[in-house]
Amino acid sequence: MKLTLLLLTVFALGGISVLLRIGLGALSKNAVEQPTAKAKPQERDNSINLLRVPGAILYTVIFALLLGIKNLQATPLLWGFLAAIFVFRLAEAFTPAASALKNYRKEEDQSRWTSWAIGFSFFTSTVAPMLEYRYRLWPDLPSIQWWNWAGLLLLIAGSTLRLWAIQQAGSAFIPHVKVDSKHKLVTAGPYTYVRHPSYLGTLLSYLGIAVLFGSVIGALALVLLVIPAMIFRSLKEEQLLSQRFGEAWKKYQSQTPWRLIPRAW
């Protein structure tokens, strides 16, 4: 019964999320297509980014309701989780990449299935663990332990790394697999350590959430869905980057030999 309720809630939230994205997308499109005569490009970009602020607030409120008021009163760990979610979603809204999203066209994505998989992983790796925790699907698990706090630290570390990568890439950071002719090869910042730091940050964040909530579903989704999708996605991206940048890409590969995990792969 609890598992059925969890699945129904996940699908319901998925529908709500789609509607929210459509609504915010329509507002953003209207802001771009109908600018005021005196509005500068930077001002229009800021207006679009500001539309993402209510989204960050709304997601945080929904997460709080999913966790339950009683659970929030029981441990500061959950408040730390909500604070991390809000801060990093809000920070991403004001990166150069957020302004570039208005030019995103799904039909240009050269790895659509990985985009869908990573999008769906938001529910399997974030929403489902929260519901597991709330409905106590695994009652034999102990109460909050030190390793749950370690999960929060992993979430913060992964989110910080992802935000750093997004900021470093600027407008070249896009949500689909494509290499634009205007893009430059980004090799500075976190890209000096691994070639796909934003993916590593996402993996660390999802691992942190699974540990934070003691989530079996989150752990399985990470192994069976997220990691395979990101491995395939990174290989596809590197194929396109090699075609676009040629010798510059080969030189970068030799200088930064690790794709996701230093000294491993």
* Structure token digits, residue 133: 């925790």
Q: What is the pLDDT of residues 156-193, one digit of tens each?
A: 999 999 999 988 887 777 766 666 666 788 888 899 99
Mean pLDDT estimate for the chain: 77
| Distance of alpha carbon 44 from alpha carbon 29, whole angstroms | 11
Q: Give me the pLDDT at residue 99, please.
A: 63
Residue carrying the six token digits 């005569």: 37
Give residue 152's pLDDT band: very low, low, confident or very high (50, 70, 90): very high
Q: Give me the pLDDT at residue 31, please.
A: 39
* Structure token digits, residue 245: 């940048």
| Distance of alpha carbon 27 from alpha carbon 49, whole angstroms | 11
Whether 121 shows a pLDDT value over 60: the answer reads yes
Which residue has better confidence, 142 or 236? Answer: 236
Q: Which domains are assigned to the chain?
A: 2-255 (1.20.120.1630)
Q: What amino acid is encoded at 244 in this protein? A: R
Q: What is the distance, to the nearest Å, from the Cα of residue 111 to the centroid of all Cα atoms in its chain?
A: 17
| Distance of alpha carbon 257 from alpha carbon 265, whole angstroms | 8
For the entire predicted model, the pTM comes to 0.78
Residue carrying the six token digits 């957020």: 98
| Distance of alpha carbon 20 from alpha carbon 146, whole angstroms | 36
Of 53, 125, 126, nearest to 87 (Cα)?
Answer: 53
Q: Give me the pLDDT at residue 58, please.
A: 85
| Distance of alpha carbon 174 from alpha carbon 47, whole angstroms | 19
Give the mean pLDDT of 208-215: 93
Q: Please report the sign of the dihedral spanned by the C-alpha atoms of residue 61, residue 26, residue 167, residue 118.
A: positive
Give the mean pLDDT of 105-128: 78
Which residue has better confidence, 246 or 38? Answer: 246
